[in-house]
A and B are shown apart, each in its own frame.
Chain A
Amino acid sequence: MHAADHYKEAERLMTICNSCRYCEGLCAVFPAMELRRSYENRDLDYLANLCHGCGACYVDCQFSPPHEFKVNVPRTLAQLRGVSYRSHAWPGFMRPMFDRNGLAIAVVTALSIAGFILGFALWHDPRVLFLGEGQFYRLMPHNVMAPLFGAAFLFSLLALGMGFRSFWCDIGARSVSAGSGGSLLQASRDAAALRYLDGGGVGCYNEDERPTDNRRLFHHLTFYGFLLCFASTSSGTIYHYAFDWPAPYGLLTLPKLFGIPGGIGLVVGSLGLIHAKLVRDRALMDPTKFGMDTAFLLMMLVTGLTGLLLMVLRETPAMGITLAVHLGAVFALFLTMPYGKFVHGIYRFGALALYAAERRLDRAAVPGAKRPS
């Protein structure tokens, strides 16, 4: 199916749901839908990104297939999310990254890891990979590592920011001042708690009509694990430059205090989410996004796992390879953040902020009303 078909289907469903409204109490999507009577593409982008895919409205719908109305909101909105990630990607020529995202991410990651292995080997004597002296910076001097990763990270931030800006304008965030402190605060709270991944209170639906709260738990572990790992790296960088205190760091230092639980969170969380994805009712999923979702989760898993392994293997000959894999994965992660599943977080945050603003004013945003000058 093409993007236009997905929009058409979403419009059909929203018209049905707006005549029904039974799901109004389940999440933010339905009240947002009720503020409108017709749905153009940019409204639908907003609603799609507001949906957390908890599945409740599918399990609870009297019109879901095999009923002839074939109402499947979670799948249709998941498909639209895919379309919107692609259309907001910046720079525009990177959009095809979303076409076979799993493959694309795998290739970038493999190249990146290979690059680090090769780099270590060429830079030094190949044997340096297997020295096992516990000295990361012997393999890659900090003065090389920091600018390389810094540059990748800054590029990602720029690309993510541009994508977000395009989404933000399209959905009409400014027409309801969604950038106000109140809306951003509300959105942060809702995002931090994954408020709408709870099926309206009982947990989300994954493999059948029995709700559990597992996906929310594993998402929390992954997300907060990611943040902790990020904090670990940042604190390490600060130690290095501000205090001239080079790695390795002891167990009771900030990089370790952040890094160890963070790594464990990443590993357990991503494994849990991968498992949930494998057993998920296929009816709820956009089959074409399986690659993208799984690639991202695997990336999280590899990052967390190699990070933890590095601590254990630091003094062994396996350290060199592990470091190359870890850095390769992280580098690829930074590079591909704007072109993979990572973007779901920023668009969802934008949608939540818009929702908070719409609720406060009790009126719908006007899509694409004002372009930033």
Chain B
Amino acid sequence: MDALDVLVVGGGNAALCAAIAARRSGASVMVVEGAPKFYRGGNTRHTRNMRCAHDTATQHLTGPYTEDEFLDDLLRVTEGNTDEQLARHMISLSKPMLDWIGEQGVRFQPSLGGTLSLGRTNSFFLGGGRAMLNALYLTAEKLGVQIQYDASVVALDVEDGRFKSATIRTVEGDKVVEAQSLVAAAGGFEANIEWLKEGWGDIADNFLIRGTPYNRGDVLKMLMAADVETIGDPTQCHAVAIDARAPKFDGGIITRLDCVVFGIVVNRNAERFYDEGQDFWPKRYAIWGRLVAQQPDQISWIIFDAKSLKMFMPSLYPPIAAQNVADLADKLGLPVEALEKTVRDFNAAVRPGTFDHTILDDCHTEGLNPPKTHWARRLETPPFYAYPVRPGITFTYLGTRVDREARMRMKGGLGAENMFAAGEIMAGNVLGKGYAAGIGMTIGSVFGKLAGEGAARHARG
């Protein structure tokens, strides 16, 4: 392989933004994507929008979203677990990002039906994440970026913070690729159950992985072994409650369930364990993955009645239905009397109120533990329905520490000479905890472009 400037590892949003930016800066670029062509682009395939600051409403955005407001939102969801300087930097670069990403062929549309709350802040990809990726790949190909599929990096040769070469495994065997600089954009390790077990214990066996099976964190591990500094809680991941019938990997958006606030949630013992009506769903959905993970066998059931059936976005699998609570318990394999008692106690505790799911209404329980503080309505109108749920892992927080140029930082505080990181693999720098819709893509695009430009600059001297 003669004189390659930039090697980009990964094939998602972060990798492609880096590759395009590096190529546009004049560097020769190779992208190695571990997945086969159809599965190219990891979790980016499953996304639908990105969050960028903007000063005015646009054709696709209903109003302005200032940098300050963006920062406030970030500080709130992360509870301060962010590198504020770096976050400000990213947010200010998110503004021109909307145009830049459009110039690479990505197209936008107004927010999707059912996601109106994001219409002002988030830009939705026309056709979704795979359409977005297709556009980026097309642009990269046109610019002359070399792209290899089914090509995973299995080893990195790094010496004193200087990348020398990578070993790439393909169907034809292993080969060593040298390059002037490296961009690591290989995602997190959420598909690596063994690694998840290090933080969660054996219960991680019962987790479902919402996205790609190819994000196994191998590159992150290699970088850690090469003394790159890490950031973010190694034991934590973003987890939501998804339909328990979803496939182990790659079930994507359609297995999500938005109906917790309309009913009650019980565990294997048919007992409630948390206030289902604590706050609006978009603000609370991310705690339910963890809550369910703490229940026996890591499974729970959302139970509601006919009144609520049509009040939330439909999802892939139909709810399990029965004419009375006992039959429902039977179908779900739950202890019949216990479920009847839980429903009876709940119904008895519901105080009269005016139901309105668009506000924090006054429908609540009294004398019940745990309480349901809003949207509490008696479960009394047959048929009764249930969705089984399990924790669904979206992404992990542990990543490589980077600076303002997306350059990795080595243990000891020095910057790596020629190694850059972008996307989920370094998201922990800005997103130490929590999540706000669309930030994953912003991190990938902004740091991807920075990494590509930095890598090209280094390579071309």
Interface centre among A22, A31, A67 (most CB of B within 10 A): A22
Known: A37-B310, A37-B314. A20 touches B109 (CB 8 A): no
Name the CB-closest residue of A to B45: A62
Which of A18, A19, A23, A69 meets B127, CB within 8 Å?
A23
Tell me, yes or no, whether A34 is within 8 Å of chain B by CB: yes
B316 A59 Cβ-Cβ under 8 A: no
Interface centre among A25, A63, A66 (most CB of B within 10 A): A25
Which residues from chain A contact B109 at a C-beta distance below 8 Å? 24-25
B127 A56 Cβ-Cβ under 8 A: yes
Cα separation A16 to B128 with both chains bound (whole Å): 14
Which residues from chain B contact A59 at a C-beta distance below 8 Å? 130-131, 134
Known: A34-B113, A62-B45. A15 touches B316 (CB 8 A): yes
B314 A201 Cβ-Cβ under 8 A: no
Name the CB-closest residue of A to B253: A20
A-B interface pairs (CB < 8 A), number: 79
User: Which B34-57 residues have a C-beta within 8 angstroms of A?
Assistant: 38, 45-46, 48
Give the Cβ gap from A23 to chain B, nearest Cβ, in Å.
Answer: 6
**23 A-B contact pairs sorted by A residue (CB < 8 Å):** A16-B316, A19-B315, A19-B316, A20-B254, A22-B130, A23-B128, A24-B112, A25-B109, A25-B110, A26-B127, A34-B113, A60-B128, A60-B131, A61-B128, A61-B130, A62-B129, A62-B130, A62-B252, A67-B250, A68-B247, A200-B107, A200-B126, A210-B138
User: Which B113-131 residues have a C-beta within 8 angstroms of A?
Assistant: 113-114, 124-131
Name the CB-closest residue of A to B255: A19
Tell me, yes or no, whether A281 is within 8 Å of chain B by CB: no
Cα separation A109 to B429 with both chains bound (whole Å): 71
User: Which A21-45 residues have a C-beta within 8 angstroms of B?
Assistant: 21-26, 31, 34, 37
Interface centre among A26, A61, A200, A209 (most CB of B within 10 A): A209
Q: Indicate with 1 or 0, residue by residue over A44-88, a CB within 8 angstroms of chain B CB atoms.
A: 000000000000110111110011110000000000000000000
Tell me, yes or no, whether A94 is within 8 Å of chain B by CB: no
Which residues from chain B contact A19 at a C-beta distance below 8 Å? 253-254, 313-316
Tell me, yes or no, whether A154 is within 8 Å of chain B by CB: no
Name the CB-closest residue of A to B126: A25
Which of A21, A56, A69 meets B113, CB within 8 Å?
A21
Counting chain A residues whose Cβ lies within 8 A of the other chain, the interface size class is: 20 to 34
User: Which B280-316 residues have a C-beta within 8 angstroms of A?
Assistant: 310, 313-316
Which residues from chain B contact A62 at a C-beta distance below 8 Å? 45-46, 128-130, 252
CB-CB nearest 9 A-B residue pairs:
A22-B128, A25-B109, A60-B127, A60-B131, A19-B254, A62-B45, A19-B315, A25-B126, A62-B130
B107 A201 Cβ-Cβ under 8 A: yes
Known: A34-B113, A68-B247. A26 touches B126 (CB 8 A): yes
B314 A15 Cβ-Cβ under 8 A: yes
Which residues from chain A contact B252 at a C-beta distance below 8 Å? 20, 62-63
Residues of B within 8 A of A (CB): 38, 45-46, 48, 107, 109-110, 112-114, 124-131, 134, 138, 247, 250, 252-254, 310, 313-316
Give the Cβ gap from B9 to chain A, nearest Cβ, in Å.
Answer: 22
Name the CB-closest residue of A to B48: A22
Which residues from chain A contact B128 at a C-beta distance below 8 Å? 20, 22-23, 60-62
Residues of A within 8 A of B (CB): 15-16, 18-26, 31, 34, 37, 56-57, 59-63, 66-69, 200-202, 209-210
Which residues from chain A contact B38 at a C-beta distance below 8 Å? 66-67
Which residues from chain B contact A26 at a C-beta distance below 8 Å? 126-127
Give the Cβ gap from A207 to chain B, nearest Cβ, in Å.
Answer: 14
Known: A200-B107, A201-B107. A60 touches B254 (CB 8 A): no
Cα separation A60 to B132 with both chains bound (whole Å): 8
Known: A26-B126, A61-B130, A62-B252. A21 touches B107 (CB 8 A): no
Interface centre among B113, B125, B128, B252 (most CB of A within 10 A): B128
Query: Other CB < 8 Å A-B pairs besides A21-B113, A22-B112, A62-B45, 4 of them?
Result: A16-B316, A19-B314, A34-B113, A67-B250
Which residues from chain A contact B107 at a C-beta distance below 8 Å? 200-202
Cα separation A201 to B125 with both chains bound (whole Å): 13
Cα separation A202 to B124 with both chains bound (whole Å): 17
Which residues from chain A contact B46 at a C-beta distance below 8 Å? 62
A60 B134 Cβ-Cβ under 8 A: yes
Known: A18-B314, A59-B134. A24 touches B113 (CB 8 A): yes
Name the CB-closest residue of B to A19: B254
Which residues from chain A contact B250 at a C-beta distance below 8 Å? 67-68
B314 A22 Cβ-Cβ under 8 A: no
Interface centre among B107, B247, B316 (most CB of A within 10 A): B316
Cα separation A297 to B293 with both chains bound (whole Å): 59
A209 B134 Cβ-Cβ under 8 A: yes
Which residues from chain B contact A60 at a C-beta distance below 8 Å? 127-128, 130-131, 134
Give the Cβ gap from A78 to chain B, nearest Cβ, in Å.
Answer: 19
Which residues from chain B contact A66 at a C-beta distance below 8 Å? 38
B316 A21 Cβ-Cβ under 8 A: no
Cα separation A57 to B128 with both chains bound (whole Å): 10
Which residues from chain B contact A201 at a C-beta distance below 8 Å? 107, 126
Cα separation A252 to B268 with both chains bound (whole Å): 85
Give the Cβ gap from A349 to chain B, nearest Cβ, in Å.
Answer: 26
Name the CB-closest residue of A to B112: A21
Cα separation A210 to B134 with both chains bound (whole Å): 9
Name the CB-closest residue of A to B41: A62
Name the CB-closest residue of B to A59: B134
Name the CB-closest residue of A to B44: A62
Cα separation A69 to B38 with both chains bound (whole Å): 14
Interface centre among B114, B134, B315 (most CB of A within 10 A): B134
Which residues from chain B contact A21 at a C-beta distance below 8 Å? 112-114
Which residues from chain B contact A34 at a C-beta distance below 8 Å? 113
Give the Cβ gap from B329 to chain A, nearest Cβ, in Å.
Answer: 26
Which residues from chain B contact A56 at a C-beta distance below 8 Å? 127, 131
Which residues from chain A contact B45 at a C-beta distance below 8 Å? 62
Give the Cβ gap from B62 to chain A, nearest Cβ, in Å.
Answer: 15
Cα separation A16 to B316 with both chains bound (whole Å): 5
Name the CB-closest residue of A to B127: A60
Which residues from chain A contact B48 at a C-beta distance below 8 Å? 22
